[in-house]
A and B are shown apart, each in its own frame.
Chain A
Amino acid sequence: MWKALGTTIYLRKVGENGHPSLPHSRFLWLTVGILTIALFIGLYLALQPYPSSSAANAAAAEPMTILGIYVHAFFLSLAVGLPYVVLPLEALGIIRKDKQYTEAARRISVVWAISFGFGAVTGTLVEFGLVQIWSGVLLAIGSFFFIPLVFELFAFLTEVVFLALYLYTWERMKRQWLHWAIGLFLLLGSSASAVLILTANSWMQTPWGTGSLVQAILPWSPVIGPSAVNSTALVTIYKTLPKTGSLVMASPSVISSLGYLLYDPYVVLLNPNAVVTSAHTILTAIVIAAFETAAIFSYSYLRGKRAQSGFFLRTVKFSYGVGALATILTIVSGDQMARIVYSYQYLKFLSMEGFRGGVDPLIGLISNFNPSYVFPGFSDLAATTSKSIDPASATLTISKAEVIMPVLSPLYYAMIASGVLLLVFSVAYLGLYSRRIDQLVRVVVRMTTERFLLYSSFAAAILAIIAGSAGWAVRELGRQPWTIYGLVRPEQLITPNPITPVFSYFIMLVEVMVFGCGIVALYFIPTKSLIEIEKQVEVVRG
């Protein structure tokens, strides 16, 4: 059997049609080795006991959910951010009749398409996770997600249609602006899709339209928007969620017998958290996409392809510029985001600042324009729990905030530090246009601004990913122990079917493999397609 296996995975030096074999057969052996180890880990996990409670079930499902969302976010940040690099490049190429800018836009659009493809694949994984693993979400939030999801269907389709058209009509349209306009619709589709999904996520952070329901449970919370819900129906569903599933299965009409749950389905779109989150997240995606583009082209430039050095350098400068502008806007929107957290999720604010209340001149000055402002601390909030209709949940929320502080605060400051460094890089970018800043850059780093941009683009790409990842972790971890802040907890939403260790492990393995395939595709497919384009040109020109 081993011999047969060895024969099967044996790589020939040269393929059947003369193509070279895969570059590194050792790489394949390594992959087989890793997969074998993965199989043994799977077998070991198969012997582990099943989760015995809904809380244990939720805990078992969380790692694969977190990993899936991060893998999805990696590709989506490129898919959402890259249009903001590609379209200005293409426009510049058309206005200045400069083929280098057009070529750069075309190359980056291939990466954009691959990111979109893998974003869709990983999105399917995340969706399955949502509907299958966290099945209670649909009953608990289905009505609030209705309008964003219906609009998202159309935004997603717009994105797909125009992405396909945009890619296949490159240089096949006589009117270049028409091609650019197709790209603009694509940009609108992808951004709208992101806004709508983030609107749904923001509702879980600040359940807008529930009025004073959250305040009744967490007395320190403000009123969250107008009261557009049927409180009786909502509380009935939420309080009986673990049992609601069985009730629904036994009698599906039980839900409709409760009457309308949400009187104004559009209220979800008016959530201030959704507006700020959408702006901040899309800007972060642009920062990541722009600095990654700059880093890739810097690498090509520094690797020494002199024949194309001018082309690479111009693309680096342009994408770095987009990243710098987006960084400044991201910091502005980030400030607004922090104010939303301060207003609606005060405990998260304390945890992420690593602050136990009292006086902090800097925080007081930034948040209230008053350095001597006295912030209520955990003990002050604990004193209010007696006013809650569910004191146990209120107390749990405070204790959880204290527990996660040592994790949340470093993540928050990692995001802040990354943002500040990116701001410094963005200011240095102005050295291309300002002699004084250029001189300052020369004094500090002992190289020209141009050279500094080339090297710093690698650090900027990494910092942008750190800032984005840490920021999202703060957002999601900070609402612990709630899934819908103040209303529903994870154990109420998890499927009643046991999430076995093997299932969780298998899904995580697949997520890692899809991520790996995506990274390989992001490298190989653009390279291959460019080679094909060049071959096609050579063939036609004879």
Chain B
Amino acid sequence: MLGFTPVSWMAFLLLGIATLVHITFVNLVLGFSVIIPITEYLSYRSEDAKLMDVAKRTFKYLILTDLVAGVWGTWITVALAGLWPTLTYIATTVLFVPITVALVGILITIPSIAIYWYTWGKISRRLHLFVGCLMAFGALLVPAGFRMIFAFVDDPVGLSEALKGNLYAIFGNPIYPTWVIWSWVGSLAMSALVAAGIYAWRSRGSENEMSVKETTYFLKLGIPLLVVATVLGVYFFYSLRAVSPYIFAAITGNLTIAQYNFLPVFVLYPILALIACGSGCALFALARKGKLSKSASFVLIIAAFLMVPVAEAVSDASRAPYMVITGDTGLPANAFANTMIPISWSIAELAVTIAVVVMSTFLLGIYFIYRVKTTPVSEEQL
């Protein structure tokens, strides 16, 4: 494989696969963690009990997605420790502050999700909303911290200052603010659209007032946010032209600079955004007439769900074979991967194959659980 040793190839793919799955589900966790308290607040303000039901039902998706995201987050930390010791050492030392910010976010979010659920309807509204705000705040902190790692490997601003002890110099990274805001808006848009699609899909042709209300509510939220997220995404990738010319070359198919062509994957992102926007608008128009379309909701779910991994794959994999980009070249992944032990190509390929099989089994298992959980229990079964 061009520019890779067996260990760095295996490490790159194992970390990449885990990151894709993790970030996809983490976006849903982030989005739902913000949308649910807002929905609860709106239901109190408008005294709309049905909106409260929407919030409660959506919370179950938050728990399921948090489970998946948590599992793959653990995978990432273990993969980093075992496969990328040098990279992790540098990241945890230089990026100590943003990683701590993300850690604080995780530590706030996990217990607040549990407290939010188990105190729903059992404590005062204000106090419950306060817990919800904590949950949303914690969730927003996570990308605010972790996006700095991604920004740093795209453009290692502040490294020399960090080595001298100034750990805040890294915050001068020009792509960091756009990336964080794009992550926030994108996750909200994705979560709202996926939720709208799922509620429309689950009505399965037997539309009722509730399913139409749920779908309309999430589409009203999701479509404008999607437009903003797409603009931010395109702006972000365009800003890489000056900051990370190598990545910009890879995503625009300029093989005089880049070693791999990611243009086809990059083009997929605005196409998916257009499809999501189109199907969302179609569904919204139908919902206003009290109808829902199964096919439009299916297309919406798939398009909205795939947007994040596609955008993530473009921004992450386009660094290959480098791990840290420095202008129109970079520091190769081999320098950061665990090159201190002999691993053959056959072992590396076996490990990646097993990872793909296990990941597929895991996702199928989650789908199966989703199906079992949403299928009513029959008397015979009990």
Whether A7 lies near B126 (C-beta < 8 A) is: yes
A396 CA to B255 CA in the complex, in Å?
A: 59
Q: Is A293 an interface residue (CB 8 A)?
A: no
Flag the segment in B25-33, B218-226, B367-375 that touches A. Answer: B367-375
The CA of A58 and the CA of B247, in the complex, are separated in Å by: 40
Are A124 and B74 neighbours in the complex by a CB distance under 8 Å? yes
- Is B227 positioned at the interface, with any CB of A under 8 Å from its CB? no
How close is B108's CB to chain A, nearest CB, in angstroms? 9
Task: Find out whether the CB atom of A143 lies under 8 angstroms from the CB atom of B338.
Answer: yes
**Is A15 a contact partner of B122 (Cβ separation < 8 A)?**
yes
User: Which of A12, A168, A245, A517 interacts with B89 by CB under 8 Å?
Assistant: A245
Which of chain B's residues has its CB closest to A123's CB? B74
Closest to A509 in B: B107
Number of cross-chain contacts by CB at 8 Å: 205
Q: Report yes or no: A130 in contact with B81, Cβ–Cβ below 8 A.
A: yes
* Chain A, residue nearest B97 (CB): A497
Q: At the interface, is chain A mostly helix, strand, loop or mixed?
A: helix
Contact B341 A262 (CB under 8 A): yes
Of chain A, the residue at the smallest CB distance from B104 is A506
Within 8 Å of chain A (Cβ to Cβ): is B238?
Answer: no
What 0/1 pattern do residues 44 to 55 of B give for CB contact below 8 A with A? 000000000000
Residue of A nearest to B361 (CB): A161
Say yes or no: is A382 at the interface (Cβ < 8 Å to chain B): no
Q: Tell whether A34 is near chain B: CB-to-CB under 8 Å.
A: no
1/0 per residue B82-115: CB within 8 Å of A?
A: 1101111110111010011001001100110011
Which residue of the partner chain, among B82, B341, B355, contacts A260 with CB atoms under 8 Å? Answer: B341
Please count how many residues in chain A sit with their CB below 8 Å of the partner chain's CB atoms: 78
B379 on the interface (CB 8 Å rule)? yes
Contact B362 A495 (CB under 8 A): no
Q: Could you mark each residue 515-531 of chain A with 1 if its beta carbon is under 8 Å from any beta carbon of chain B, else 0?
A: 00100010010000000
Q: Which residue of B lies closest to A506 (CB)?
A: B104
Does A256 belong to the interface (CB within 8 Å)?
yes
Which of A19, A124, A171 counts the most chain B CB atoms within 10 A? A124
Q: Is B71 an interface residue (CB 8 A)?
A: yes
Stretch binding the partner chain, chosen from B172-180, B271-279, B329-337: B329-337
Q: Tell me the bound Cα distance from A123 to B106 in angstroms.
A: 13
B residues touching A (Cβ–Cβ < 8 Å)? 14, 67, 70-71, 73-75, 77-83, 85-90, 92-94, 96, 99-100, 103, 106-107, 110-111, 114-115, 118-119, 121-127, 130, 159, 163, 167, 324, 331, 334-336, 338-343, 351, 354-355, 358-359, 361-362, 365-366, 368-369, 372-373, 377-379, 381-382
* Given A8-B127, A168-B373, 16 other A-B residues pairs in contact with their CB atoms under 8 A: A8-B124, A11-B127, A124-B70, A139-B85, A154-B354, A154-B355, A156-B75, A161-B365, A169-B372, A245-B89, A252-B335, A265-B341, A495-B93, A497-B93, A514-B110, A536-B377
Give me 9 A-to-B residue pairs in the complex whose CB atoms sit less than 8 angstroms apart, sorted by A's number.
Answer: A127-B77, A154-B358, A161-B365, A164-B67, A168-B373, A233-B340, A495-B92, A497-B93, A514-B111
